[in-house]
Amino acid sequence: MATQAKSHELIVSVSPHVRGKETVERIMWTVNLSLLPAVIMSIYYFGPRAAYVTGLCIVSCVLFEHLYWKFLDRKTTVGDGSAFLTGLLLAMNLPPSVPFYIPLIGSLVAMVITKLLFGGLGYNVFNPALIGRAFLLISFPKLMTIWSEPTAKFIAMDAKTTATPLGILKEEGLTQLIEVFGSKAELYKGLLYGNIAGSLGETSAIALLVGAAILFMKRYITWHIPLSYIATVGVLAWAFGGDQGLFSGDPLIHILSGGLILGAFFMATDYVTCPTVRKGQIIFGIGCGAITMLIRLKGGFPEGVMFAILLMNCFAPLIDRSIKPKMFGAVKETKEQEK
């Protein structure tokens, strides 16, 4: 009679029944790990200050999530690594010279308002780290745009402040930007290695690409969003970014500078806030690219990646809604069948 007693355990849940090793925890911690090269590069270029800001962001994000669930008397979810990831991404989006309360306020907005109030991981409409940064940029525009020059000597405490490459490009033009770096090759080298002013994690394109390669190999992200995003930015920069008429722009500068690599591989691909259908993801990427270039070339801000991803986050449910995948074996309904 053992079967009868345990019969309630025989109720079969809905599909899928095949189980893999992949869990939310595993994916989140792998993403955290894949950001490690970028973190190391940021500490190398911006000194102990970078480690301090990164640590503060991570600790406060994890702490806010833990306190929130404790306050609600629910099981804490800090173990899944998503709070850690939000803190890490928020830190990568901050300039190295911010005072201590900036990461704290950013973490509060990112974790509690953007993620937890909406129901926690899986329900947030926006990328938490990006909302945290957008909130900070609008509330503290001065503090959030002081970019210190990278020193690579581990003594960046009183570093010189300077403008980011995109800032120079916007204010003074391409010739001035090349002059600052000496030559075009030096400029590309600076953008690739990260020896430029900017947010902590966005400067070194190579370190970010190494991390992105890990995610591709683990198949945690697909090519749809990053490729369509970066290709759109490249084409638009080539077509409209030059000052000698159409198709004279330099796509590489726009692709490598700013937060594009970080945004396209690590933030636009967030499972929760992007469309789930493949075709929708391509539309999402193209939209991100178009808005990014619109803001970079015509807008009031030098950098548009953050706002572009946030705006497309708004549209993600709409994209999902309008592109429903075809059901297997489904036949298009005709007028006669409806009657």
Partner 1 sequence: MDFTKLFELVVSSALINNFVFTMFLGLCIFFGVSKKMETAVGMSITFTAVMVVSAALSWVVYTFIMVPLDLTFLKIIIFIGIVAAFVQSADTIMKKVSPSLYYKLGVYLALITTNCIIIAVPLKNAGEHYNFFESMAFGLGSGLGFGLALIIMASIREKLEVADVPAPFKGLPISFILAGLIALAFTGFSGLITL
Q: How far is the CB of 72 from partner 1 (least distance, A)?
A: 6
- Closest residue by Cα to residue 85 from 211, 198, 194: 211
Place of tokens 């007028």: 335
Q: Distance of CA 244 to CAs 17, 102, 160, 295, Å?
A: 59, 41, 33, 20
CB–CB of 302/167 below 8 Å? yes
- Our finding on whether 220 is near partner 1 (CB under 8 A) is no
At a CB cut-off of 8 Å and minimum separation 6, what does 289 contact?
Answer: 228, 229, 230, 231, 232, 233, 236, 308
Among 1, 5, 138, 217, binds partner 1 (CB under 8 A): 138
Of 97 and 114, nearer to partner 1 (C-beta) is: 114
106, 132 contact by CB (below 8 A): yes
Is 185 a binder of partner 1 (CB under 8 A)? no
Q: Is 135 in the site for partner 1 (CB under 8 A)?
A: yes
Q: How far apart are the first and last CA of the chain?
A: 52
CB 314, min distance to partner 1, A: 5
Using rule CB under 8 A, residue 118 touches partner 1 = yes
Which whole-number Å values give the CA distances from 263 to 27, 212, 230, 289, in the listed order? 18, 11, 10, 11
Positive or negative, the CA dihedral 291, 292, 298, 301 is positive
* Least distance from partner 1 to the Cβ atom of residue 135, Å: 6
DSSP 115: I
Contact status, residue 217 vs residue 55, Cβ threshold 8 Å: no
Asked if residue 108 binds partner 1 (CB under 8 A), the reply is no
Q: Which is nearer to partner 1, 185 or 318 (CB)?
A: 318
String of contacts with partner 1 for each residue 70-99, x by CB under 8 A = --x---------------------------
Task: For residues 72 and 70, give the distance between their C-alpha atoms in angstroms, rounded to a whole number.
Answer: 5
Give, as ranges, the residues between 273 and 292 that touch partner 1 (CB under 8 A): 291
Residues 290-329 vs partner 1: string with x where CB under 8 A?
Answer: -x--xx--xxxx--x-xxx-xx-xxx-xx--x--------
**Residues contacting partner 1: total by CB under 8 A:** 33
Cβ proximity to partner 1, 49 vs 254, nearer residue: 254
Nearer to partner 1, 126 or 229 (CB): 126
301: part of which helix (H) or strand (E)? none
240 in contact with partner 1 (CB under 8 A): no
| 241 contacts partner 1 (rule: CB under 8 A) | no
Residues that bind partner 1 (CB under 8 A): 72, 113-114, 117-120, 123, 125-126, 131, 134-135, 138, 291, 294-295, 298-301, 304, 306-308, 310-311, 313-315, 317-318, 321
